[in-house]
Structure 1
Amino acid sequence: MSVNFSLADKAIVVTGGTGILGGAFVKGVVEAGGAVGILGRNAAVAEERAAAINKAGGRAMALVADVMKADELKAAKDKMVAAFGRIDGLVNGAGGNIPEGVLQPEEDLFSMNLEGMKKAMEINIWGSVLPTQVFGEAIAQTGRGSIVNISSMNSKRAITKVLGYNMGKAALDCYNQWYAVELANRYGDQIRMNAIAPGFFLTEQNRYLLTRPEGGYTQRGELAIRQTPFKRFGHPDELIGALVWLLSDASEFVTGAMICVDGGFSIFGGV
């Protein structure tokens, strides 16, 4: 029995492709032989990454779009299909937290910024639902494919300060299971949906919460490492193996699953 981890001849869209974790996702797709659409709002970064991949012999294109704007996503879908003829997979990597979605310990619990929390929640759920509606339609036309959502440890445990982010990722977990079932009911084993739940990785959105400008960890950063059996933050490249497996035919009997890549954070009781 052969197990195929290759993404050769597959065209994959990565939302949030201009971010830190998104950069690892893009790298993983290309290294596995796939063509990649690097979708994000930062045109300069998307184009720079695509140009570097193409120069090295890979296949990539920049897709400048906001995941909360359907018209921009549809334009990106058309551009992707025109370039590669098909879409075989989607990585919903866009999301993260925002400063106005953070409640500090000294702030009044009953006067928190509800609009900020709502905005953080929406980007982390609707920022995956909307791209799935747009790019998923193209995957259905291809006839076979895989969609991977990016969840978080925040969906499973009560992580302080970031209520909106927590709620968005918890909703994403529900969506991941519900949509996987609906895809199976309609398309059998041809279109799958799964999720990766990273532990603590340093990104542009959380760096200020976990590290100090002068160097070293904040108290929150130290607590996160203390609760992680591996006693370190993850490196973005450590997400690639799980991602390629879920996008490839090697996971063809897997749907609705959540793969934790967290250094043991999700299983550690703290004792």
Structure 2
Amino acid sequence: MANLFCVKDKVVIITGGAGILGRGIAGHLAEEGAKIVILDRAAEVGEQIVAGIKAKGGEASFFLTDVLNKEVLEQNKKDILAKYGRIDALLNAAGGNMAGATIGPDSTIFDLNIDAFRKVVDLNLFGTVLPTMVFADVMANQKEGAIVNFSSESALRPLTRVVGYGAAKAAISNLTKYLAGELAIKFGEG
């Protein structure tokens, strides 16, 4: 359904923007008139997405990032503000899973690779917390903005095998509810 909400001329940052979900959302929001900022570690794919959006008359930029590195994200923020002057929305789409953070049918919780579990939690949880810390202050100062955090059905109900991913996404769901109140109470309804 077109025009469910207006994003025309809004600056929308998408972390993990070169991923499957990020690129699909970027394309749609660009068609609706948003100025898209793709943040990802996959430079070649990110640049291809930007070129595709521009070929259709949209506005988009790519910035190489690391959602687990606050200093890199701070530089991304400076570069985005230098180019667009504002940030209207942040879509935290960076995330994923890895085999070691799962429990296969022939293994148990005691076989879990804790290093892989930690990497999945870091990417999914801290890869949302850090971009939010960096970019939300711009929206708080503007007194308006939107943050969309990508969670999963596994946050609500444990799904087979994906214990690391599910734990991280449950934390994302909780964090999102917390941030809704925190930002609205301290920085205004917008």
TM range (shorter): over 0.9
Structure 1 residue 119 corresponds to structure 2 residue 119: yes
1:130-172, Cα deviation, whole Å (9 max, x unpaired): 0000111122233311000111000011112111101000001
What residue is the counterpart of 1:71 in the other structure?
71
CA contact (8 A) 1:5 1:32 kept: no
Contact 1:101–1:117 (Cα < 8 Å) also in 2: yes
Counterpart amino acid of residue 77 in structure 2: K
Letter of the structure 2 residue corresponding to residue 41 of structure 1: R
1:45 aligns with 2:45: yes
The gaps in structure 2 that reach 5 residues or longer are: none
Indicate whether 1:136 and 2:102 are aligned. Answer: no
Q: What's the offset of the Cα at 1:56? A: 2.0
- Is 1:16–1:40's contact at 8 Å kept on the other side of the alignment? yes
Give yes or no for contact 2:143–2:188 (8 Å, CA) kept in 1.
no
Aligned residue identity for 1:58: G
1:145 pairs with 2:145: yes
Amino acid of the residue matched to residue 62 of structure 2?
Answer: A
Per-residue CA deviation, residues 106-130 of structure 1 (Å, 9 max, x unaligned), is: 1243132111112112211111010
Identity %: 37
- More helix, by proportion: 2
Distance 2:138 2:188 in 1: 17
- 51-60 or 173-182, which moves further after superposition? 51-60
SS at match of 2:107: coil
Cross-structure match for 2:98:
98
| Counterpart contact for 1:12–1:35, Cα < 8 Å | yes
Gaps of at least 5 residues in structure 1 are 191-271
Write the distance in 1 (CA, Å) between the matches of 2:98 and 2:122. 11
Structure 2: distance between partners of 1:107 and 1:64: 38
Name the structure 1 match of 2:8: 8
Give 1:4 deviation, angstroms. Answer: 6.8
**Matched position secondary structure for 1:39:** strand
Q: Which has the larger radius of gyration?
A: 1
Equivalent residue pairs, number = 188
1-side partners of 2:122 and 2:128: how far apart? 9
Q: Secondary structure at the match of 1:87?
A: coil
Instruction: Give a deviation string over 1:216-258, Cα, whole Å, max 9, x none.
Output: xxxxxxxxxxxxxxxxxxxxxxxxxxxxxxxxxxxxxxxxxxx
Q: Which secondary structure does the structure 2 equivalent of 1:185 belong to?
A: helix
Aligned: 1:161 with 2:153: no
Which digits, 9 at most, give the CA deviation of each residue in 1:55-84, with x for residues without a partner? 321110001101111111111111111111
CA drift at 1:46: 0.8
Q: Distance in 2 between matches of 1:38 and 1:90?
A: 10
Number of the residue aligned with 1:86: 86
Does the CA-based 8 Å contact 1:86-1:138 persist in structure 2?
yes
1:29 is aligned to 29
Write the letter of the residue equivalent to 2:188. G
1:88 maps to amino acid: D
- Deviation of 1:24 after TM superposition, in Å, equals 1.1
- SS of match in other structure, 1:158: coil
Over aligned residue pairs, what C-alpha RMSD do you find?
1.4
**Secondary structure, aligned partner of 1:186:** helix
Equivalent residues in 2 for 1:178-257, closer than 5 Å: 178-190=178-190
Moved over 6 A (4+): none
Query: Which residue identity is paired with 2:185?
Result: N
Is 2:173 aligned against 1:173? yes
